[in-house]
Amino acid sequence: MALDVMYFEPYDEETFLDKQARERAIDFNLGWFMEPVFRGDYPFSMRSLVGNRLPYFRDDEKEKLVHSYDMMGLNYYTSMFAEHIDLSSGFSPTVNTDDSYANLQTGLYWLKLYPKGLKELLMIMKDKYGNPPIYITENGTTVPYTLKSALTSHFVVRLYIFLHTHIHIMISDFCLCSLGAEVQGHFAWSLLDNFEWTNGYTPRFGLIYVDRDDGFKRYMKKSARWFSEFNRGPKKGL
């Protein structure tokens, strides 16, 4: 299965409560799905905060869940800060507030360049979840494109930098060094400009520009040319 995950940093590195908020945030983001298939139950922090609203697994279900996967996919785009919040007496729990941490935006909208977050998530998969074979099944960013800027502008450098830095994290820290995470492959998101959830067609994540004003013609962006050269071999890569 492929998990859409983020990494979290404590908003204040010196604050114990913010460090605990970071751990809860990771539990509610990655652990929510990994803990059941690794040890047969939800994370302890989820059990303690969500209580009886969180379903329980029967013994036979746990048996089927544990190690029921051959490989794992991670969709990684960005990371966030986690800051502890106190729950008031009038607090009404919901799926978005059970974790008792606050997401703090650090840039334009939600997507910030933070390749270290990918490294940290891979180390969690290695050290906490048995080091399964992992594919980075989505990784990319969007910038405001016109056809002209997609082919010639400095805007295209942003997607190149995004992919370059994340791939470099995997090559330098995992394939060539001794950290040992089982990273098997990387997929850029996405091949073509497409429909992006509630944002519709406005964001352009594609390596290939789709001209919707001219019969959906397709053009390789500069980032696509770099990605193609990189995948042909090390002489054209990092």
pTM for this prediction? 0.84
Distances (CA, A) of 71 to 24, 179, 186, 229: 25, 19, 13, 28
The domain spans of the chain are 2-138
The answer to whether 171 and 136 have CB atoms below 8 angstroms apart is no
Question: What is the predicted pLDDT for the residue at 113?
Answer: 85
- 120 contacts 80 by C-beta, under 8 angstroms: no
- Residues 6 or more apart in contact with residue 109 via CB below 8 angstroms: none
The answer on pLDDT for 173 being more than 90 is: no
CA dihedral (105, 195, 188, 182) positive or negative: positive
Q: Flag whether pLDDT at 145 surpasses 50.
A: yes
Closest to 135 in 3D by CA, of 180, 185, 78 = 185
Query: CB neighbours (10 Å) of residue 138?
Result: 18
Among 40, 127, 114, 48, smallest CA distance to 76 is for 114
- Tens-place pLDDT, residues 190-234: 899 988 888 888 888 888 999 999 999 999 887 788 888 888 876
With cut-offs at 50, 70 and 90, classify the pLDDT of residue 167.
confident
Most confident of 41-45, 147-151, 196-200: 41-45
Q: What pLDDT sits at residue 98?
A: 60
The larger pLDDT score, comparing residue 105 to residue 134, is at 134
